[in-house]
Structure 1
Amino acid sequence: MSKEGDFMPVWASNLTWWTLLDFYLIYILVLFILKFVFHNKRILSMFSFYIAMIILFGVASHFGLKIAKLINEELPVILLIFIIVVGAPDFRLTLESLWKETLRQGNIIMGSERTKTEIIKAAQSLSKRQIGGLITIEKHNNLDQYASRAITLNSDVSSELLINIFEPNTPLHDGAVIVRGDKIVCAGAYFILSSNENFEKTTGSRHRAALGISEITDSLTVVVSEETGSISISINGVMTKMKDESTLNEYLTLFMK
């Protein structure tokens, strides 16, 4: 009679606790890489370009193209170095965001209905007077790396304070306000400008900053144009112009749930 173990597949008989640990470590590594890549759209674009180039030259090499084969042997390392050098600022910010997001899980505080109303009132007032404004509302991704280089306020959100901050010819006029929960964390914050080429050349730095911060964090930014008085919001790398006050209210309500 054959033993029960004789019916086990070959791969199962070679399975040990060390093999399971090996697979688990690979799983954790892949999970971290995917989270890192998908956390920032610019990094995702660079990663997609890296994979596409390797596949393209790999296929060319497979069909016996000599030059492509030579390039393919060195391409992965060259591309990787190029991406690391070009994307260094994005990598640093993404790592900081992931680390601080992990620390803050389960401790996210969104603003109250009153805070939302005060932000809308301030945006409407600035719009009517054609005064530029930039109000960034924090969510999961911590924005301390920007707040640390700005003017700390830690004040309750009020339309009067927001309007006063963005008054022309004042020291904080050109920067952004960061709102966390019901508090204005800081004013005069500066963000990395978006490199999105779909913008018109006449687009100001305020709108590019609003789009830039939305590309690398999950924050929402209300931006008021100094030239036209129009109000837009930037979230997930997309800039949307607000038709009226009710539209702005709907977007903020959904975001601040």
Structure 2
Amino acid sequence: MLLQIRGIISTISFLDIIDIVIVAYFLYKFYVMIRDTRAVALLKGLIVLLLATMVSRWLELNVINWLLQKTMTVVLVALPVVFQPELRRALEQLGRGRFFQNSRQLNAEEKENLFSELARTVTALSKNKIGALIVLERETGLNDYIETGIKVDGLVSSEFLINIFIPNTPLHDGAVIIRANRVQAAGCLLPLSDDRTLTKELGTRHRAAIGISEQTDAVVIIVSEETGIISLARGGRLHRYMDAESLKEQLTPLFAAKSSSLSDLLSWRPS
């Protein structure tokens, strides 16, 4: 075995190493790109389907293997259609030179400043009963929803956000989506929740917040236009009657470190 490994290594040239590094780099950049969209969930499903096909063949489960192979054929044909937005975005980023840019993570001070600005924002909006819908991106990317709004790319500040949500201004309708400490877009459209158990007093703004939190791991801050009540949506659940301090207490552990979605949901306690 050792001699075989040495024989394989001896056949690898310097150009082969460069070839492998380039391919690995582009695969990594492709992963980073789809990580900012819902396509990553589809890719995980494809991997699970492929593994099930291999296991069924190894166990000689002929009927299951035949069904999985036919399913794989249909899926492979449908992939260009399913991933059409991501493929188009990849070509656009490659043409603009953005394919080689890296996303940055916030440090502790930047996170504290972000939460403080958000707390100041919702406090002022709540006091004046100005409706607001603020989406904070986490591990699941929201590019699909960002594209439905107006691109902004501005640093988060309470004054900036308040101006966005002032009634009768161009961007006050729809949601604001924040990635890291920057407002990516405003006036974004979000999917409405189909949950029939939601109380009738919740309007479109709250249903949109719950809807996006059902489909992604995003955290959504809502300010009711009718009552001024501050709410937080996450994992398809709504935590209402919050103030600035309780909002910061809820946000801090969610963005402190990357954790599994399952443990996050188990630790979530709606009011």
Give the TM-score category using the shorter length. 0.5 to 0.7
User: 1:69-97: CA deviations, max 9, x gaps?
Assistant: 44444433421343543454466678879
Match of 2:22 in 1: 25
**Secondary structure at the counterpart of residue 174 of structure 1:** coil
Structure 2 CA distance for partners of 1:179 and 1:44, relative to 1, 3 Å: closer
> C-alpha distance in 1, partners of 2:151/2:23?
43
User: 1:143-195: CA deviations, max 9, x gaps?
Assistant: 8x94895497979955598278444x7765432346799998875x123427x
Match of 2:221 in 1: 222
- More deviation, 196-205/47-56: 196-205
Q: Any conservation in 1 of the 2:205–2:222 contact (CA below 8 Å)?
A: yes
> C-alpha distance in 1, partners of 2:10/2:161?
70
Match of 2:243 in 1: 244
> C-alpha distance in 2, partners of 1:215/1:207?
15
Letter paired with 2:21: Y
Match of 1:3 in 2: none
- More deviation, 56-65/147-156: 147-156
Percent identical: 24
- More deviation, 10-19/104-113: 104-113
Q: Any conservation in 2 of the 1:223–1:231 contact (CA below 8 Å)?
A: yes
Match of 2:51 in 1: 55
Measure how far apart 1:246 and its partner are: 0.7
Letter paired with 2:76: L
Match of 2:188 in 1: 190
Measure how far apart 1:240 and its partner are: 6.1
What are the residue-to-residue correspondences of 1:137-176 with 2, within 5 Å?
A: 146=146, 149-150=149-150, 157=157, 162=162, 165-167=165-167, 172-176=171-175
> C-alpha distance in 1, partners of 2:99/2:229?
32
Whether 1:134 and 2:133 are equivalent positions in the alignment is yes
> C-alpha distance in 2, partners of 1:55/1:153?
40
**Secondary structure at the counterpart of residue 173 of structure 2:** coil
User: Paired residues, what number?
Assistant: 243
Give the root-mean-square deviation of aligned CA atoms. 5.3
Measure how far apart 1:247 and its partner are: 1.9
Runs of 5+ consecutive residues of structure 2 not aligned to the other structure: 257-271
**Secondary structure at the counterpart of residue 54 of structure 1:** helix
Q: Any conservation in 2 of the 1:134–1:206 contact (CA below 8 Å)?
A: yes
Runs of 5+ consecutive residues of structure 1 not aligned to the other structure: 1-5
> C-alpha distance in 2, partners of 1:67/1:116?
54
Letter paired with 2:212: G
Letter paired with 1:21: I
> C-alpha distance in 1, partners of 2:90/2:227?
33
> C-alpha distance in 1, partners of 2:49/2:4?
45
TM-score (ref. length: structure 2)? 0.57
> C-alpha distance in 2, partners of 1:185/1:32?
20
Which has the higher Rg, Structure 1 or Structure 2? Answer: 1
Letter paired with 1:162: I
Letter paired with 1:225: S
Structure 2 CA distance for partners of 1:97 and 1:190, relative to 1, 3 Å: farther
> C-alpha distance in 1, partners of 2:62/2:5?
46
Measure how far apart 1:49 and its partner are: 1.9
> C-alpha distance in 2, partners of 1:10/1:204?
68
Structure 2 CA distance for partners of 1:229 and 1:63, relative to 1, 3 Å: same
Q: Any conservation in 2 of the 1:135–1:179 contact (CA below 8 Å)?
A: yes
TM-score (ref. length: structure 1)? 0.59
